[in-house]
Structure 1
Amino acid sequence: MIEVTKDLPRSADGLQMDWLEVPFGPVFPGLPGGLKLTLTLDGDGVTEGQAMSLVGMSTAGEDEGMDMDMDVETFLEHLSTAMPLAPVSYRLLACLAIERVAGLEDDPATAGPRAAALERERIASHLGWLAQLGRQLGFAWLTERASTLQLEIQSASRERLTELEPALRALAARLGRTPLLESRLRGIGMLPPDSTELRGPIVRAADEGGDAWARLWQRLSEISASLDLIKEAEEPRLPALRNIGHVSGTGEATVDTPRGEARLSLKLERGQVKSYRLDTACSHHIGLVAGLVEGRELGDALVAVGSLDLSPWEVIS
C-alpha cells in the first residue's frame, strides 16, 4: 500500500488519496438550476472549486461592430425575461435608464407603485432562497412553507401582503427555534466585511458575522423591512415605461435587486437601443466561490455556496 500511494497528493489528515474532480449541477438539490459547481475532492474535503453559469446572458458592448437595434419596449421584455428570478427588478432598471436618456425625473405617480413592486419581489425572492435552503438541509417543512408563501406573494395586492404578514413573521420565528440550525450555519461561508466584491444582503450581513447564519437573518430582516415599506407605498404595479419619444443619448441607472445592486448604462438613437452594459451583483459574487470552498468539508462547502443565493441568469459574461 505504501508503494502504491507514495506519489499521491497528501491530504490534511496525512492520508494519501486520489483527488477527484466532481461536478455538482446544473441541477442539484439546494443549488440554483443552471449553476455548475466543480469541486476537487480529497476524500470528503474540498481542495479547490469553481462555479460557472450555464444560462447567463451576454452584455452588448459599445465596440464597433457590436451595435444592436432594438426598440425600447422590446428591450424591456428582453432584459426582464432574461432574469427569471428577478424580472421586476430588471424591468425597473431598464425603465429608469431609458427615462434618464430622455431627462425624465422620478414621478411620484409611478415611483410609489414601482417601489412597492420591487419590495414585493424582494420578499418573494428571499422566500425562494429559503425554500432552496430547506432542500439543501433536508427541512421539508421549510421548503413547503417558503414555496407556498412565495407563490402567494409574487402577484399579491398590498391588502393581501398585509394579510400574509403574520405568516411571514411566524416563519421567521420558527426558524429561530429550529434545533441545530444555527450550529449548521454558524461559521460557514465566512466573508470579510471589507471585500469590494460584496453587494446586497451579503455585504449587509458581513458586518453581523459574515457567515451563512448572518445571511439567513439578513434576508429575514429584509422581508420584514419590505413589508413595512409596502404598507407606506401605493399598490404594487409592474413598471411601465413612460413616453420618451424618439430621443438619442446615453443614460444609466442603478437598482437594488434582491441580490444586490445592478447597474445599467445604455445608448439610444432615435428611440432605439443601440448598445448597453449591465453589471450585476451575481457577476461579482460567483467569484467568491473558490475562496469559500477551499479546505472545507463537502457538506459545508455546499452550504456556503448556497448561502450566496447566486442567480445563474444574473451572471453576465
Structure 2
Amino acid sequence: MVEVTKDLPRSADGLAMDWLEVPFGPCFPGLPGGLKLTLTLDGDGVTEGQATSLVAMNTSSEEVAVETFIERLAAAMPLAPVSYRLLACRAIEQAAGLEPDPAVERGRAAALERERIASHLGWLAQLGRQLSFVWLTRRAAALQLETQRADREQLVALRPALQSLIARLEHTPLLKARLKGIGALPHGSQDLRGPVARASGRTEDARQADAMYRELGFEMRAESAGDAWARLRQRHVEIMTSLDLVEVAGDPELPKLRAIDNPSGTGEATVETPRGRATLRLTQERGQVVSVELDSACSQHIGLVADLVEGQELGDALVAVGSLDLSPWEVTS
C-alpha cells in the first residue's frame, strides 16, 4: 500500500486516496434542475468543485418585436417570470421615453413581491428535499401554490400560515444545527446580491432606489453571519416584508407593456428579483429589439461555488450550494 499510494496527494487527515470527480445534477434532490455541480472528492471531502448551467440564456439573439421579446424573456426564466417580464417592460418603456406611471408601478410592485414570496417558499421546499424534511417540502410547496395566483386579500389571509411555518423552522434545533456555520462566504467575496448579500450584512437592494417602494414604506433588513442559517433567516424576513408591501400596494398586476409607437432608442432597467439585482440594457429600432445585455445575480453567484465547497465534507458542500438558491436559467452566456 505504501508503494501504491506514495505519489497520491494527501488529504487533511494524512490518508492518501484516489481523487474522484463526481457530477451532481442536472437532476439532483435539493439542487435546481439544469444546474450541474462537479465535485472532486477525496473520500467524503471536497477538494475542488465548480457549478455550470446547462440551460444558460444566450442573449445574442436575432431581431425580435418588443412584445415577443418580453414573452420570450419571461418564458426563459421559469423561476422568476414576473421579475424578468417587468425588467423587459421597464427597459423598453425607458427606451421609448416613457416616465413611470405610479398607478401602474404600484400593481407591478405587488406582483413582484408576490413572486418573491412564492420564490422563497419554493427554495424552502427544495431545502426540505435536500435535508429529507418531508413535512417542510409538502408545507412550503403547498403555500407556494396558494401564493402564486393569490390577490391581495388572499395573500393577507395567508399571513398566519406563513408566520407559523417560519416560527416552526426557526425553532427546529436540528435544522439550525445543520445549517449554522455551513457555507460561510469567504472574506472579500465580490458582487454579492439579493438575499445572499443581505444575509452577509450588506445593504444591497435595488428597491431602495425605487420611488414607488419608498412610497410603500419599504425598509431593508439584513442578517450578518453570512452562512446557510443566515440565508434561511434572511428569506424568512423577506417573505414577511413582501407580504407587508403587497398589503399596502394592493392587488398584483402582471406587468404589461404600456402603449408605445414603434420607437427607437436605448433603454436600461434594474429590478430586484428574488435572487438579487438584475439589469437589462437593450437597443430597439422601429419596434424591434436588436441588441440585449443582461446582468443577473445568478451569473455572479455561480462563481462563488468553487471557494464555497473547497475543503468541505460532501454533505456540507451540497447544503452550502443549495443555500445560494441558484437559478441556472438566470445565468447568461
The number of equivalent residue pairs is: 311
Q: Counterpart of 1:110 in structure 2: which amino acid? A: V
Q: Counterpart of 1:21 in structure 2: which amino acid? A: E
Task: Tell me the distance in 2 between the aligned counterparts of 1:95 and 1:137.
Answer: 38
> Contact conserved, 2:182 with 2:319, CA < 8 A, in 1?
yes
5 Å-filtered alignment, 1:296-315, equals 296-315=312-331
Corresponding residue of 1:29: 29
5 Å-filtered alignment, 1:105-124, equals 105-124=99-118
Corresponding residue of 1:63: none
TM-score normalised per structure 2: 0.92
> Contact conserved, 1:192 with 1:206, CA < 8 A, in 2?
no
Please give the root-mean-square deviation of Cα atoms over the aligned residues, in Å: 1.0
SS in 1 for 2:281: strand
Deviation at 1:234, TM superposition (A): 2.0
Corresponding residue of 1:164: 158
> Is the counterpart of residue 50 in structure 1 residue 50 in structure 2?
yes
Corresponding residue of 1:196: 190
> Is the counterpart of residue 229 in structure 1 residue 245 in structure 2?
yes
Q: Deviations over 1:52-77 (max 9, x none)?
A: 000111112xxxxx7x3211110000
Q: Deviations over 1:73-100 (max 9, x none)?
A: 1000010000000000000000000000
The counterpart of 2:68, out of the listed 62, 71, 74, is 74
SS in 2 for 1:27: coil
Q: Counterpart of 2:325 in structure 1: which amino acid? A: D
Structure 2: 5+ residue runs without aligned partners?
202-223
Task: Tell me the distance in 2 between the aligned counterparts of 1:228 and 1:289.
Answer: 33
Task: Tell me the distance in 1 between the aligned counterparts of 2:329 and 2:4.
Answer: 45
Flag as ranges the 4+ runs of structure 1 deviating above 4 A. Answer: none
> Is the counterpart of residue 210 in structure 1 residue 204 in structure 2?
no
Deviation at 1:197, TM superposition (A): 2.2
> Contact conserved, 2:186 with 2:308, CA < 8 A, in 1?
no
SS in 2 for 1:206: coil
Query: Which 10-residue stretch deviates more, 210-219 or 102-111?
Result: 102-111
5 Å-filtered alignment, 1:50-199, equals 50-60=50-60, 68-192=62-186, 194-199=188-193
Corresponding residue of 1:3: 3
Task: Tell me the distance in 2 between the aligned counterparts of 1:287 and 1:22.
Answer: 19
Q: Counterpart of 1:35 in structure 2: which amino acid? A: L
> Contact conserved, 2:186 with 2:307, CA < 8 A, in 1?
no
Q: Deviations over 1:121-179 (max 9, x none)?
A: 00000000000000111100000000000011001011100111100000000001112
Task: Tell me the distance in 1 between the aligned counterparts of 2:283 and 2:97.
Answer: 13
Q: Counterpart of 1:169 in structure 2: which amino acid? A: Q
Q: Percent identity?
A: 73
Corresponding residue of 2:287: 271
SS in 1 for 2:17: coil
Task: Tell me the distance in 2 between the aligned counterparts of 1:47 and 1:206.
Answer: 25
Q: Deviations over 1:12-59 (max 9, x none)?
A: 100000000000000000100000000000000000000000011111
> Is the counterpart of residue 285 in structure 1 residue 301 in structure 2?
yes
SS in 2 for 1:180: helix
Deviation at 1:195, TM superposition (A): 2.9
Task: Tell me the distance in 2 between the aligned counterparts of 1:105 and 1:168.
Answer: 36
> Contact conserved, 2:308 with 2:317, CA < 8 A, in 1?
yes
Task: Tell me the distance in 2 between the aligned counterparts of 1:72 and 1:2.
Answer: 67
Task: Tell me the distance in 1 between the aligned counterparts of 2:66 and 2:75.
Answer: 14
Q: Counterpart of 1:238 in structure 2: which amino acid? A: L
Q: Counterpart of 1:191 in structure 2: which amino acid? A: L
Q: Deviations over 1:88-120 (max 9, x none)?
A: 000000000000011111101211110000000
Q: Deviations over 1:218-253 (max 9, x none)?
A: 000000000000010021010000011111110000
> Contact conserved, 1:114 with 1:237, CA < 8 A, in 2?
yes
